[in-house]
Structure 1
Amino acid sequence: MAGKFRCILLLIAGLFVSSLSYAENTEIPSYEEGISLFDVEATLQLDGVLDIKENIHFQARNQQIKHGFYRDLPRLWMQPNGDAALLNYHIVGVTRDGVPEPWHLDWHIGLMSIVVGDKQRFLPQGDYHYQIHYQVKNAFLREGDSDLLIWNVTGNKWPFEIYKTRFSLKLPDIAGNPFSEIDLFTGEEGDTYRNGRILVNRPGFPGECFICELRLPDHRFRWKHNKLFLLLPEEYGPAFPAIVDCYTSPPT
């Protein structure tokens, strides 16, 4: 079973290598500003916490990227009854080309913005590799016999194009194939386009996102601390999740 499990993980890694650019030109033009690669490394911990490292490769041309950038993460989710629930984030740190980078948090209605960079320091034109490292609870929904993970890989608040997106998920040491179903979505808020091949048929335009959905059967993980779990209301589509505020832990 261990060999099968490793093969499944390699297949997953390949499945989410999704280029968000024209098939004829998968590289960002040298004069253009944007994200050449949005590479996300996710690690699922046994307590249900999702550890995220976003490796964002910017091509900065002093058009919109002058001091840095901001990364919006959802903070408030609406429950089916209309009440709001909070997601719990822990920001581990931010680096630029491997060196710690200044950052702070701004709070908005329903959003937490990680503001990266120093407004007193002008960022020269160039290519930069930023890494945002954070952890988030409450990323799962109990659905029938499955634990459901829905993750918006890139977010949908970027003002410029993302040319390539890659997502990988590392699991705890569990036996067998944990996945009963894998799905992904691309497009604008509410879209359910499944551009899951190596190349999609058009670019990732400003304001679009890339969402993955994984189903893990048979209570594969023991939830120790998480009290809120992700719910996807069918009428809203994958870009509008909500939170269920109660959960019965599986037998340990």
Structure 2
Amino acid sequence: MQRFIKFPLYTLFIFFVSGWLTFAFAQERILDYQTDVTVLEDGTLLVTETIQVQAQGQQIKRGIYRDIPTTYDNPDGSRHHVDFILTDVTRDGQPENFHTKAQANGTRIYIGSQNVILPTARYTYQIRYQMKRMIQFGDSTDELFFNVIGTGFVFPIDRAKARIQLPENAIISDSIAYTGRQGSREHNANLSPINSHTIEVESSQPLSPYEGISLAVAWNKGVISEPTLADKLRWAWKDGMLILIAIAGFAATGLYLYFAWSKVGRDPSKDTIIARFTPPKDLSPAACQLILDRKY
């Protein structure tokens, strides 16, 4: 009887543990996230993101999405907009359908087909894009602060790694990595200089949903071409375009209301008032007093 009692308890324990392990390891997650950033001498960033995911048909049904911030705050409190060009998207090495949608602070890339449901499996997505106007030019050094591992994912990330490669004549003088949610100042990552112009960062622990890695790198001046006056004017126009559109809209509305009021809203001009010293025709003095005093 004792054997009969122990056997089912042991079996239930095995089923429970195996079921828990199956659920834990079958959760949708990002298994590996790697980003390679190459900085060209004109300041253009060539970015390749390789994202391996475990799809279980829960939230990853047709594919994934990636949020790319394109609006950044300046030290003086103003905002500037960077150029973003999406060049290529693949899944398991094959071209994949995608479309983009404007967000409040950037662009969202939707990857996948509306009519294709993905079977439960591991998939590797690769996103290639370019970004401009990301370099901050200082007095003694130039800097790049870049969100190398995106913070917009609702899935945990088991392994995250990124590399930034500058032109060969660059000498990296300072670097720091931040981990966690947007705005976090945690440093749960390891920095590894590869050579004088290349550096790698890898998370020292798995990342939770909405956590990522931002990497700041500084190097000697003269490596990246600074923007010309024409570039600065074009950027100023782009940054202030929304404000100019708003001002133009208010001005156009005011002009329309003024002309509409001038055409149909003005009161007619009043006739000249002429004093009369005799009663109006057919009215007696008593009738005039009634009109003036409203009594006899």
TM-score bin, normalised by smaller chain: 0.7 to 0.9
Between 131-140 and 143-152, report the one with greater CA deviation: 143-152
Alignment partner of 2:172: what SS? coil
Structure 2 CA distance for aligned equivalents of residues 199 and 40 of structure 1: 12
1:93 to 71, 88, 94: 88
One-letter identity of the residue aligned with 1:167: A
Aligned CA distance change for structure 1 residues 146 and 164 (closer, same or farther; 3 Å): same
Aligned to 2:213: 210
Measure how far apart 1:224 and its partner are.
5.5
Aligned to 2:41: 46
1:60 to 45, 55, 58: 55
Measure how far apart 1:140 and its partner are.
1.1
Matches within 5 A, 1:15-30: 30=25
One-letter identity of the residue aligned with 2:46: D
2:181 to 182, 188, 197: 188
One-letter identity of the residue aligned with 2:221: D
Aligned to 1:160: 155
In the alignment, is the contact (CA less than 8 A) between 2:161 and 2:203 conserved in 1?
Answer: no
One-letter identity of the residue aligned with 1:216: W
Matches within 5 A, 1:1-252: 30-80=25-75, 82-174=77-169, 178-197=171-190, 200=204, 202-223=205-226, 227=232
Measure how far apart 1:81 and its partner are.
5.2
In the alignment, is the contact (CA less than 8 A) between 2:41 and 2:223 conserved in 1?
Answer: no
Structural RMSD (CA): 2.2
Higher strand share goes to which structure?
Answer: 1
In the alignment, is the contact (CA less than 8 A) between 2:42 and 2:224 conserved in 1?
Answer: yes
Structure 2 CA distance for aligned equivalents of residues 205 and 199 of structure 1: 11
TM-score normalised according to structure 1 size: 0.73
Higher helix share goes to which structure?
Answer: 2
In the alignment, is the contact (CA less than 8 A) between 1:145 and 1:219 conserved in 2?
Answer: no
1:120-150 deviations in Å (ceiling 9; x for gaps): 1101111111100000001111233111101
1:137-187 deviations in Å (ceiling 9; x for gaps): 01111233111101101121100101111111223232xx61110110101
Structure 2 CA distance for aligned equivalents of residues 61 and 115 of structure 1: 18
In the alignment, is the contact (CA less than 8 A) between 2:137 and 2:226 conserved in 1?
Answer: no
Q: When the two structures are aligned, how many residues end up with a matched partner? A: 199
Measure how far apart 1:82 and its partner are.
4.8
Structure 2 CA distance for aligned equivalents of residues 93 and 139 of structure 1: 20
Aligned to 1:248: none
Could you tell me which runs of 5 or more consecutive residues in structure 2 were left unpaired when the two chains were aligned. Answer: 1-22, 191-201, 234-238, 240-296
Measure how far apart 1:111 and its partner are.
2.1
Structure exhibiting the larger radius of gyration computed from Cα positions: 2
Measure how far apart 1:87 and its partner are.
1.3
Structure 1 CA distance for aligned equivalents of residues 203 and 152 of structure 2: 22
Aligned to 2:253: none
1:178-217 deviations in Å (ceiling 9; x for gaps): 11101101012221111223662x4311111101010012
Aligned CA distance change for structure 1 residues 29 and 47 (closer, same or farther; 3 Å): farther
Alignment partner of 2:32: what SS? strand
In the alignment, is the contact (CA less than 8 A) between 1:145 and 1:217 conserved in 2?
Answer: yes
Structure 2 CA distance for aligned equivalents of residues 57 and 84 of structure 1: 33
